[in-house]
Amino acid sequence: MSGAADGTVSTELAAARKRLQAAGIADPLLDARLLIADVTGFSLTDFVMKPDHPVNPAESARIAAMIERRVGGEPVHRILGHREFHGLDLLLSKETLEPRPDTEVLVDTLLPVLKKAVSAKGSASVLDLGTGTGAICLALLKECPEATGIGSDISADALETAAKNAARNGLASRFETVRSDWFKKISGSFDIIVSNPPYIRSDIVTTLDREVRHHDPMAALDGGQDGLAPYRLIAADAGRFLVENGIVGVEIGFDQRLDVSAIFASHGFSLLDAVKDYGGNDRVLTFRR
């Protein structure tokens, strides 16, 4: 157990690491640090600077409880209830997908597009379909102070979380949420329409890693029989909600570049950019009409 006799951060860390390692957790030291940091208010460098910092019994009990949740397979950021994405601290909730580092590539691809629109007109707008935690839209707004955005989602839980995330990152005045099934309740036109839709084939969703399958919402993962259903919906209607020369940017599965390009092409869009993720897989496509 992680409850340590003499109660310092370093004895807690050693015990927690040992417990996670014995349970077969992939990255026991990092996970132990993240969980202990959350309870003690430590930064990751504090572990080196202040190893003898005392840990009181109440803190020790909280650490032990978190470590046991991790042993049970709950992802570390679900236990913490928040995670970092593109420099933002984002709350997670039941119906939000945990933002993935690879999705930062989508933000970085669209940022120059958004900044260009701002420099041409003085302001610009973003629509993020299936916003979840708000990650993509909020990261764009954070980097581009003249921009405004709408995060839409079919999940009320997700929209509540996205609104909280806007507030905790100082972006509430430029971010609005709209409860909508894709474009159904959307009005107006946007410089950028962005989405990281569910894109996993229904037959594969059940074979995903246990930590994903049990802790990320299925509605954010399951893209229908061929994993492409959301792209068909987005491509069919995006033209009506884009300003002239507006851009659509989507995250895709590693093997979906050709299929998604064909879907958008059939609605009059041409591929602008195809970008790979940190692992070298196709991950982001942008289109214009």
Binding site for ligand GLN (CB under 6 A): 100, 196-200, 212, 221, 251
Give the residue at shortest CB distance from ligand GLN.
199
Q: How far is the CB of 257 from ligand GLN (least distance, A)?
A: 15
246 is in an annotated binding site: no
40 is in an annotated binding site: no
182 is in an annotated binding site: yes
Closest CB to ligand GLN among 39 and 220?
A: 220
217 is in an annotated binding site: no
Closest CB to ligand GLN among 12 and 230?
A: 230
Nearest to 161 by CA among 74, 98, 214, 106: 98
131 is in an annotated binding site: yes
Q: How far is the CB of 167 from ligand GLN (least distance, A)?
A: 25
Closest CB to ligand GLN among 5 and 26?
A: 26
Q: What is d(CA 240, CA 187) in angstroms, rounded to the nearest whole number?
A: 9
Closest CB to ligand GLN among 151 and 197?
A: 197
Q: How far is the CB of 102 from ligand GLN (least distance, A)?
A: 7
Q: How far is the CB of 148 from ligand GLN (least distance, A)?
A: 24
| Residues making up the binding site for substrate | 196-199
